[in-house]
């Protein structure tokens, strides 16, 4: 049986880190699949990443229904369906972030594609689609993904990738562990900022497909751990390495 | 009878948040209409948002005359008329911010229109005018709005909207509560920053009129509360939800 | 007799504020003319603005010779001549800042002129020259102003203005008091940042000459005080208003 | 015999400063040649700059083999070969930084050359090459420099210069002391940021070759010390001046 207290602690730490690194502000969220039950996931109640605590972590089914003790600690995020639909469509995914990462949003409303320009950012991939809620749900939504129908449509655009932008809204990013997805979300924001600057100077030489594939495949668990330890220190949270965190993406031994 | 101590506390918290979020610096101000007397409003004496306290909050008539105990805590803002004239022209408005929000100012001096590019920023609207003091008051003012004649002219440009830019100066933004207007001012600054970056990359896909209308209409009180709780934490002020704060825009029940 | 301890305290506070506001980093300096002897001025020994203290403030003649107790607290800035030559040429000036303000430097190496785009920045003026050390001293200097000959040439380019840029180096800015020049240096950095963003969006509508003149002439002492109180709070220095600080530019009574 | 405890302390301080100044994040590293054995160097184990301590400093041969007590404090950086190969090729170099300095990276993926636009940044030089791993190692690497063959190729591109960019990766920067290379890395990041802004405004007037040569040659040790004292204060580390730190670049006497 997985240590769910450790998982709740991990999610709170992840929220603090994402806020510190400017990926989340008062909004946006990160989820983690239940280690013992692939049809459930954990995520905070509707609260800002810097103030939520372990007590705010709730359990959901993949269709976004609240599971667990009554009363629940509070109202869930209205966009929890994003997480459910992606975890439903992607058995390989353990953790999902939905964010309004500020340097990424400009790419969601212009013709410019976001692509990695440095190796640390390679795992976001060379083929990042932009989901547009208008295509299926019309030109007068509030852009929020508030039911499974919308969320499954977004998951379809994401496909087998790690990232999809969302026009006029933000992005989703997925990974095999909380630490992996946090790492990639932090570096996607950095990549977007650097790419905007590079594009202002002329033609950009992106990483090649071969480089992206190699950089992604070869990334060891200790790379994620180096970032995680550093970010834990920045946000004043204890740095802990835990068995349950180790998804199929990396193992204790290759650290 | 409204709890005026709570209102003063709310205004001080709002000032701290607006300074933290880079909407105000040493200058700019936020007012709140008197809950029991629509012809009066509250605002700090002329002091920087990060240092003013509850004791600095003064009461004014809509024409900017000081009301209340003598001596007053200090000199009022010379631009208090902005607040009076807007509250006079707009019975629906409870709170007004005048600011020099740094990413917004470039839009006041170029032909580019500021429009929302993401849903959080939708409430600023798709039709933001720019008031130019020169049009009525000539080419040699100091750009300050220091009497009712100027302020009423600005209020006329604002019309029924939430925002008007002010050429070479800043902007005004209005709302149905302190928390609503603070929220929208914070996200207007973010929108401006993201839009400048997007415009540097080519054609921009703005939110449609239908999206703006839906996003604005559908925003629930708990959205404002999520931001407010987060910002209170950032500036070290207690997070309090108070009856008097709840304007016609949202009620306790839809939280 | 002026209170020289208060003046030393004022200079240290000014250094802390300029570092906090990103006008100075480890380099750059601010001076103040001796209140009782117009042929002398005060400035720190060669030390970074965030670490220098009252004990580091030294007295100089206008030609940069060290005056006062032996041994001096340390080595003087090698560019102290900038301050001497400007105070020599400009009896109306009380305080001088030389800085490498980062948003201003790009204007010193491009054809774009820096001009104010909002009222708070009006006092820098609509006619800012750029001094180029090459014109008189050749193409192989280290760009530092390390003698009176160079400094007087810079002062000549400055003329009767408040600001001169220095190509590939930074700028000088002068005022009638420490608080005035700090205020204008802080807002020149902000203006440069906003102007770069505005220029990226197209044609810019600058303040008119009439607006600049009126905004400058009409600025009251309490405007400077509002900023100063706020900045003192930010850097953890006491806020003090002192007689000797009040130059010809404003008096206690118009506060 | 050199004081190796002091050297370890210096390296930890350098790491903290480089993180604070945004040159390193969770990644990147700084090394220092062994003062008594030019064929060895010191560098931290694979750990983030803000959390590593004196106990993490390891000793290496120039081919990257671990020297010293067993067990080693931890796993070494996989890119330690960069440091070895440069120290091998450049007997004049004492300290090497490899970083992902964010404003510098855009120059590594566009045709724009990075060149100094202000005197503080002159020592990076007017001729900065970009090493492209693809040229010799193909289009499908993970861009990391993980063996001596790659590292020597990079060292060859660097040649006798102080800086080489690395396409899609970052840069290397070398110096005659820890303090010199930290100083230049900090100002290279600042120069890149200012240059991006200047390039957005039109043609840029770079420092001339003569100016670069003079600014570089004439820089005194106390200039480095002024920055170092300031940065030590920012990161809460003691400011210490030590004999072993004084390389051939400057001596105690010219302070």
Taking CB atoms and an 8 Å limit, are D218 and C142 in contact across chains?
A: yes
Tell me D76's DSSP state.
Answer: B
Residues of D with Cβ-Cβ distance to A208 under 8 angstroms = 134, 139-140
Query: In whole angstroms, what is the distance from residue C223 CA to residue C207 CA?
Result: 19
Which neighbouring-strand residues pair with A61?
A: A40
Residue from B23, B120, B182 to probe the interface with A (highest A Cβ count within 10 Å): B120
Residues of B with Cβ-Cβ distance to C122 under 8 angstroms = 142-143
Q: Are C234 and B50 in contact (CB under 8 A)?
A: yes
Q: What is the pLDDT of residues A36-53, one digit of tens each?
A: 999 999 999 999 999 999
Q: Which CATH class is domain C4-254?
A: alpha beta
DSSP C27-73: S-EEEEE-SS-TTEEEEEBS--TTT--GGGEEEEETT--EESSSS-S
Burial of D67 (0-12, 13-18, 19+ CB in 10 A): middle
Chain B CB within 8 Å of residue C225 CB: no
Write the residue in A203, A229, A233 that is nearest to D110 by C-beta. A203
Angle between helices B178-199 and B4-20 (to 10 degrees): 10
Element housing A59 (H / E): strand A57-61
Q: Does B248 score more than 70 pLDDT?
A: no
pLDDT value at residue D154: 98
Residue from C109, C137, C236 to probe the interface with D (highest D Cβ count within 10 Å): C109
Give pLDDT < 70 ranges for chain C: 218, 242-255
Cα-to-chain-centroid distance, residue C144: 17
CA distance B78 to chain A (A): 34
| Residue, of B220 and A166, whose pLDDT is higher | A166
pLDDT value at residue D252: 37
Q: Which residues contact D190 (CB under 8 A, 6 or more apart)?
A: C102, D103, D120, D121
CA distance C192 to chain B (A): 11
Scanning A125-164 for CB atoms below 8 A from B yields: 134, 138-144
Query: In whole angstroms, what is the distance from residue C52 CA to residue C45 CA?
Result: 8
Write the residue in C203, C208, C214 that is nearest to B110 by C-beta. C203
Beta-carbon contacts below 8 Å between A and D: 105
Residues of B with Cβ-Cβ distance to A103 under 8 angstroms = 197
pLDDT value at residue D242: 52
Write the residue in B50, B106, B168 that is nearest to C119 by C-beta. B168
CA angle at B15 for the pair B11 and B19, rounded to the nearest 5°: 170
Q: What is the pLDDT of residues B33-85, one digit of tens each?
A: 999 999 999 999 999 999 999 999 999 999 999 998 888 899 999 999 999 99
Among C219, C247, C181, C215, which residue's Cα sits nearest to residue C17? Answer: C181
Scanning C179-198 for CB atoms below 8 A from B yields: 190, 193-195, 197-198
Predicted confidence band of residue D250 (pLDDT cuts 50, 70, 90) = very low
Q: pTM of the full predicted structure?
A: 0.95
Tell me the helix, strand and coil percentages in chain B, rounded to 5. Answer: 40, 15, 45
Q: What is the pLDDT of residues D93-131, one digit of tens each?
A: 999 999 999 999 999 999 999 999 999 999 999 999 999
Of the residues A10, A79, A88, A180, only one is catalytic, namely: A79
Taking CB atoms and an 8 Å limit, are A110 and B208 in contact across chains?
A: no
Query: In whole angstroms, what is the distance from residue D82 CA to residue D131 CA?
Result: 12
Report, at the CATH architecture level, how domain A4-240 is classified.
Answer: 3-Layer(aba) Sandwich (3.40)
Tell me B1's DSSP state.
Answer: -
Query: In whole angstroms, what is the distance from residue D15 CA to residue D139 CA?
Result: 32
Taking CB atoms and an 8 Å limit, are D215 and C142 in contact across chains?
A: yes
Q: What is the pLDDT of residues A225-245, one digit of tens each?
A: 999 999 999 999 999 975 433
Query: Closest chain A residue to D198 measured between Cα atoms?
Result: A201
Q: Does B243 score more than 50 pLDDT?
A: no
As given in the structure block, the two tokens for residue D176 are 């005659």
Is C79 known to be catalytic?
yes
Chain B CB within 8 Å of residue A170 CB: yes
pLDDT value at residue B252: 37
DSSP A45-56: BS--TTT--GGG
Angle between helices C178-199 and C221-235 (to 10 degrees): 90
Percent of chain D with pLDDT over 70: 94
Phi first, then psi: give them for residue D175, nearest 5 degrees.
-160, 175
pLDDT value at residue C242: 52
**For all residues of chain B together, what is the average pLDDT?**
93
ipTM, 2 dp:
0.94
CA angle at B9 for the pair B3 and B10, rounded to the nearest 5°: 90
Query: In whole angstroms, what is the distance from residue D154 CA to residue C52 CA?
Result: 41
Write the residue in B47, B49, B111 that is nearest to C202 by C-beta. B111
Element housing B12 (H / E): helix B4-20
Residues of D known to be catalytic = 79
Taking CB atoms and an 8 Å limit, are B48 and C190 in contact across chains?
A: no
Which neighbouring-strand residues pair with D29?
A: D98
How is chain B split into domains, by residue range?
Answer: 4-254
Q: How many CA atoms within 13 Å lie on the side-chain side of C128?
A: 29
CA distance D32 to chain C (A): 24
Q: Does B255 score more than 70 pLDDT?
A: no
Q: Are A16 and A50 in contact (CB under 8 A)?
A: yes
CA distance D163 to chain C (A): 20
Whether the link from the prior residue into D198 is cis, omega within 30° of 0, is no
Q: Are D186 and D18 in contact (CB under 8 A)?
A: yes
Q: What is the pLDDT of residues D122-168, one digit of tens each?
A: 999 999 999 999 999 999 999 999 999 999 999 999 999 999 999 99
Q: How far apart are the first and last CA of chain C?
A: 24
Tell me B78's DSSP state.
Answer: T
Among C130, C131, C127, C129, which residue's Cα sits nearest to residue C207? Answer: C127
Query: In whole angstroms, what is the distance from residue C186 CA to residue C15 CA?
Result: 12
Q: What is the pLDDT of residues A134-176, one digit of tens each?
A: 999 999 999 999 999 999 999 999 999 999 999 999 999 999 9
Tell me B97's DSSP state.
Answer: E
pLDDT value at residue C251: 35
Taking CB atoms and an 8 Å limit, are D230 and C170 in contact across chains?
A: no
Residues of B with Cβ-Cβ distance to C229 under 8 angstroms = 47-48, 51
Chain D CB within 8 Å of residue A230 CB: yes
**For all residues of chain C together, what is the average pLDDT?**
93
Write the residue in A198, A215, A234 that is nearest to D110 by C-beta. A198
How long, in residues, is chain A?
255
As given in the structure block, the two tokens for residue A27 are 């909004």
Query: Closest chain B residue to A20 measured between Cα atoms?
Result: B234
Write the residue in D26, D109, D168 that is nearest to A227 by C-beta. D26
Which neighbouring-strand residues pair with C173?
A: C97, C163
CA distance A53 to chain B (A): 13
Q: Does A255 score more than 80 pLDDT?
A: no
- Mean pLDDT over A94-118 rounds to 98
Beta-carbon contacts below 8 Å between C and D: 104
- Mean pLDDT over D190-217 rounds to 96
Residues of A with Cβ-Cβ distance to D147 under 8 angstroms = none
């Amino acid at each position: 049986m997985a240590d769910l207290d450790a998982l709740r602690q991990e999610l709170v730490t992840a929220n603090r880190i994402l806020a510190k690194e400017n990926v989340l502000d008062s909004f946006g969220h990160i989820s983690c699949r239940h280690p013992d039950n692939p049809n459930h996931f954990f995520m905070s109640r509707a609260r800002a990443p810097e103030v939520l605590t372990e007590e705010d972590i709730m359990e959901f089914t993949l269709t976004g229904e609240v599971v667990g003790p009554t009363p629940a600690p509070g109202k869930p995020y209205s966009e929890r369906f994003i997480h459910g639909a992606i975890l439903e469509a992607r058995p390989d995914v353990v953790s999902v972030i939905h964010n309004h990462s500020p340097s990424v949003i400009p790419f969601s409303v212009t013709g410019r594609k976001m692509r990695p320009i440095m190796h640390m950012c390679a795992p976001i991939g060379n083929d990042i689609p932009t989901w547009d809620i208008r295509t299926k749900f019309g030109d007068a939504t509030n852009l929020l993904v508030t039911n499974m129908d919308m969320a499954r449509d977004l998951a379809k655009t994401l496909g087998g990738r790690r990232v999809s932008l969302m026009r006029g809204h933000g992005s989703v990013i997925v990974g095999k562990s909380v630490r992996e997805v946090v790492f990639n979300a932090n570096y996607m924001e950095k990549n977007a900022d650097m790419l905007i600057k590079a594009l202002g100077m002329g033609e950009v030489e992106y990483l090649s497909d071969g480089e992206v594939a190699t950089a992604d495949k070869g990334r060891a668990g200790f790379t994620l751990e180096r970032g995680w330890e550093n970010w834990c220190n920045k946000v004043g949270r204890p740095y802990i390495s835990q068995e349950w965190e180790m998804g199929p993406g990396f193992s204790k031994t290759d650290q």
